[in-house]
């Protein structure tokens, strides 16, 4: 039989997290925090359960949550949205990405994305029957190369799938880079799907949604996630916002993927989005300190990490350790050193291009990061 996604392969996060469990390794592979989000938000979820919110919510999401998402976009970015038509709640950002790709790309269409890219992008493109066209974000700085972006456009390009702040490089696009991306999207009349799940994890400067740029709102679906912003990755509450015609397209597909998304968690995330500013600054400050800890520690080991401006990922180069292949390195790391990481080659269409790169996460408690660095010390 024809098997979908056969070329995409098994999920690297599952593989490396399983190795971490088997060897009791510190899991710096999969991006999830090892401390829960705010207890007031957990209380909201418990209250929602006890209040009997057990049945299907409205397909596009609870009105209170859609309003909270609209307020979030307005208060932070000045983007004014109608909650009824311009916001849809999804089962994590993952579903929003898949639904948007299925809505706006089909057989014969091309989807541009910056490479390295998050693994679900290739899978989503394949499910849509479209072709993912990688646009290299050249290392070691991983800044946008506008000429490469322009060169990748053809008359079949329909969608530009952007991820900013960027997993796995940690790049946050600056104003000039955003303007370059916007110009390409406008010149070629592309739909932009902008995955901004790390919007609150920006350490130097501030996040700016590409939808804020002139001429961009009307062509952009912006995606967010409570998993990253509130440290509840297992709750799987995400959202997509944008102009009514594009959001309707996402909703039409979403209703036949999951129909609707978990009711009690939607109540809790509506409350979470009303947390005081301190939640966001505390999260940022604490992650910035942990970024510095991990980057300094990996540097001292000779791994040549790139200090990320955003996200909770650090890319490191294993060639300095005499290792040639990041995948082999990561398959050995849990057993030999008791630490797990992700080989960044899985984020490249041609693994060769990212063969020397390994991704570590720093969304773990400081003592856990210190323990990981202690275990890695023999690498020097």
* Contacts to ligand GLN by CB under 6 A: 13, 30-31, 167
- In the complex with ligand GLN, which residue's Cβ is closer, 13 or 280? 13
Cα–Cα distance list, 80 to 67, 72, 97, 201, 356 (Å): 11, 10, 22, 22, 43
We find the least distance from the C-beta atom of residue 233 to ligand PMP, in angstroms, to be 5
We find the least distance from the C-beta atom of residue 323 to ligand GLN, in angstroms, to be 21
Is residue 363 a contact point for ligand PMP (CB under 6 A)? no
Q: Which two tokens stand for residue 291?
A: 């970024």
Choose from ligand GLN, ligand PMP, none: what does 30 bind? Cβ within 5-8 Å by kind. Answer: ligand GLN
Q: What is the size of the binding site for ligand PMP (CB under 6 A)?
A: 13
For the chain, strand residue ranges (E) read 26-27, 87-91, 110-115, 131-136, 157-163, 191-195, 220-225, 237-241, 313-317, 339-340, 342-343, 357-361
We find the least distance from the C-beta atom of residue 152 to ligand GLN, in angstroms, to be 24
Cα separation, 320 vs 338, whole angstroms: 20
Taking CB under 6 A as the criterion, the residue among 134, 238, 242, 264 binding ligand PMP is: 238
Choose from ligand PMP, ligand GLN, none: what does 13 bind? Cβ within 5-8 Å by kind. Answer: ligand GLN
Is residue 195 a contact point for ligand PMP (CB under 6 A)? yes
Nearest residue to ligand PMP, by Cβ distance, number only? 92
Pick out residues in 151-170 that bind ligand PMP (CB under 6 A).
Answer: 163, 167
| Region binding ligand PMP by CB under 6 A among candidate stretches 51-59, 174-182, 205-213, 225-233 | 225-233
Is residue 11 a contact point for ligand PMP (CB under 6 A)? no
Cα separation, 256 vs 380, whole angstroms: 52
Taking CB under 6 A as the criterion, the residue among 44, 220, 225, 229 binding ligand PMP is: 225
- In the complex with ligand PMP, which residue's Cβ is closer, 217 or 235? 235
Binding mask 76-115 for ligand PMP (x = CB under 6 A): ----------------xxx---------------------
User: Strands 342-343 and 339-340: what pairing?
Assistant: unpaired
Q: Please give the full DSSP string across 33-49, using - where no structure is assigned.
A: -SS---HHHHHHHHHHH
Query: Who's near 287: CB < 8 A, 6+ residues apart?
Result: 201, 203, 312, 362, 363
Burial code (b: 16+ CB inside 10 Å, e: under 16) for 4-33 equals eeeebeeebbebbbebbeebebbbbbbbbb
Cα separation, 304 vs 378, whole angstroms: 16
Q: To 10 degrees, what angle do helices 119-128 and 92-104 make?
A: 40
- In the complex with ligand GLN, which residue's Cβ is closer, 270 or 357? 357
- In the complex with ligand PMP, which residue's Cβ is closer, 228 or 301? 228
Q: Give the CA count within 13 Å in the CB-facing half-sphere of 150.
A: 8
Binding mask 14-33 for ligand PMP (x = CB under 6 A): -----------------x--
- In the complex with ligand PMP, which residue's Cβ is closer, 33 or 83? 33
Count of C-beta atoms within a 10 Å radius of residue 36? 11
What residue has token string 């290299």?
Answer: 136
Choose from ligand PMP, ligand GLN, none: what does 195 bind? Cβ within 5-8 Å by kind. Answer: ligand PMP
We find the least distance from the C-beta atom of residue 253 to ligand GLN, in angstroms, to be 20
- In the complex with ligand PMP, which residue's Cβ is closer, 31 or 170? 31
We find the least distance from the C-beta atom of residue 222 to ligand GLN, in angstroms, to be 17
- In the complex with ligand PMP, which residue's Cβ is closer, 94 or 220? 94
Sign of CA dihedral 277, 278, 283, 287: positive
Bond from prior residue into 140 cis (ω within 30 degrees of 0): yes
Taking CB under 6 A as the criterion, the residue among 227, 242, 334, 343 binding ligand PMP is: 227
Query: Who's near 265: CB < 8 A, 6+ residues apart?
Result: 45, 48, 226, 232, 235, 236, 237
Taking CB under 6 A as the criterion, the residue among 128, 130, 178, 197 binding ligand PMP is: 197
The contact set with ligand PMP (CB under 6 A) reads 31, 92-94, 118, 163, 167, 195, 197, 225, 227, 233, 238
């Amino acid at each position: 039989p024809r098997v979908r996604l056969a070329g995409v392969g098994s999920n690297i996060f599952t593989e490396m997290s399983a190795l971490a469990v088997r060897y009791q390794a510190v899991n710096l592979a999969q991006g999830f925090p090892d401390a829960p989000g705010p207890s007031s938000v957990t209380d909201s979820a418990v209250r929602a359960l006890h209040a009997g919110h057990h049945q299907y919510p409205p397909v596009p999401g609870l009105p209170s949550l859609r309003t909270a998402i609209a307020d979030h976009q307005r208060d932070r970015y000045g983007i004014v949205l109608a909650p009824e038509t311009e916001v849809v709640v999804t089962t994590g950002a993952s579903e929003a990405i898949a639904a948007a790709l299925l809505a706006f790309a089909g057989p014969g269409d091309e989807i541009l994305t910056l490479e390295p890219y998050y693994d679900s992008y290739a899978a989503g493109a394949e499910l849509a029957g479209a072709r993912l066209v990688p646009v290299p974000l050249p290392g070691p700085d991983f800044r946008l190369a506008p000429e490469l972006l322009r060169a990748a456009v053809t008359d079949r390009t329909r969608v530009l799938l952007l991820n900013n702040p960027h997993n796995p490089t940690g790049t946050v696009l600056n104003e000039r880079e955003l303007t370059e991306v916007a110009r390409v999207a406008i010149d070629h009349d592309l739909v932009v799907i902008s995955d901004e799940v790390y919007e609150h994890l920006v350490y130097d400067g501030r996040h700016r949604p590409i939808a804020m740029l002139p001429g961009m709102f009307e062509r952009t679906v912006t995606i967010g996630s409570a998993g990253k912003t509130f440290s509840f990755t297992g709750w799987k509450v995400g959202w997509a916002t944008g102009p009514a015609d594009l959001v309707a397209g996402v909703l039409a597909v979403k209703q036949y993927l999951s129909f609707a998304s978990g009711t009690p968690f939607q109540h809790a995330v509506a409350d979470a989005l009303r947390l005081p500013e301190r939640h966001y600054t505390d999260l940022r400050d604490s992650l910035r300190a942990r970024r510095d800890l991990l980057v300094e520690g990996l540097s001292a080991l000779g791994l040549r990490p790139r200090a990320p401006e955003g996200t909770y990922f650090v890319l490191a180069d294993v060639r300095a350790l005499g290792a040639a292949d990041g995948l082999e390195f990561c398959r050995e790391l849990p057993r030999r050193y008791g630490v797990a990481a992700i080989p960044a080659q899985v984020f490249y269409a041609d693994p060769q291009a990212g063969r020397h790169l390994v991704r570590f996460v720093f969304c773990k408690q400081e003592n856990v990061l210190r323990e990981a660095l202690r275990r890695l010390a023999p690498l020097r």
